[in-house]
Amino acid sequence: MVDVYQVLQTGIYGITCESISAGRTNIEVVQQLLDAGVKIIQYREKDKTKREKYQQCLTLRSLCDAAGALFIVNDDVDIAMAIKAGGVHVGQDDLPADVVRAIVGPDMVIGVSAGTPNEAAIAVAQGANYLGVGPVFPTGTKLDAGDAVGLANLAQMVQMYNIPVVAIGGINEKNIMDVHQCGVACAAMVSTLVGATDIKETVSTIWRIINSDRR
């Protein structure tokens, strides 16, 4: 299995969303994210057919492999297995983490979305490799995201569990410092990255902010 701790320590977790990518395809956006140095990419597309997702994921996994990046498929365990992805991320309405592990075997990274301490505790007990906690702030990217958990709850869940926490939801250059100071492994962003006019410059700006807190 990939060392998920090491990958997440890069600070930025990119997630696809072709509908808000300024007319660019997922292939174009992910290539730009990889060129900018992002080392973890999640493929999340709710409105495409299985075949469309499978075909895009084949290409994206290849791009990530070439860049030494971890490629994760959201929800679709079957597609993750078919393309030999590095990981799969599931939500509260998907298969439980322990069931996913029984399906995918020991080598695939499993991330689980959690919006409450109870959801997080269950995911940890079932063997999740990392938690995706959010939405931290209100977001329009994911329509069923639920109420914002806020920074205090985010910091609490970071302290409660011994696996990496990835913050997600409404995160941008203006609030990334507050999120980072909660002790998260990294922050997942959608519109901030894929909708950026200059993806490389946006990634560089976010890294400068994160690294200024580490010094």
Q: pLDDT tens for residues 90-146?
A: 999 999 999 999 999 999 999 999 999 999 999 999 999 999 999 999 876 655 556
| Domain residue ranges of the chain, discontinuous segments joined by + | 4-214
Q: Which of 44, 53, 61, 101 is catalytic?
A: 44
Assigned CATH for 4-214: 3.20.20.70
Looking only at Cα atoms, what is the longest distance across the chain?
Answer: 46
Residue with tokens 């997702």: 53
Nearest to 189 by CA among 40, 37, 2: 40
What confidence category does residue 213 fall into, taking pLDDT thresholds of 50, 70 and 90?
A: low
- The arithmetic mean of pLDDT across residues 13-38, rounded, is 97
Residue 113 among the catalytic residues: yes
Residue 204 among the catalytic residues: no
Average pLDDT over all residues of the chain: 94
Residue 191 among the catalytic residues: no
- The arithmetic mean of pLDDT across residues 189-208, rounded, is 96
What confidence category does residue 73 fall into, taking pLDDT thresholds of 50, 70 and 90?
A: very high
Q: Give the span between the Cα atoms of 69 and 57, in whole angstroms.
A: 14
- Given this model, what pLDDT does residue 200 score? 97
- Given this model, what pLDDT does residue 95 score? 97
Q: Give the span between the Cα atoms of 87 and 1, in whole angstroms.
A: 9
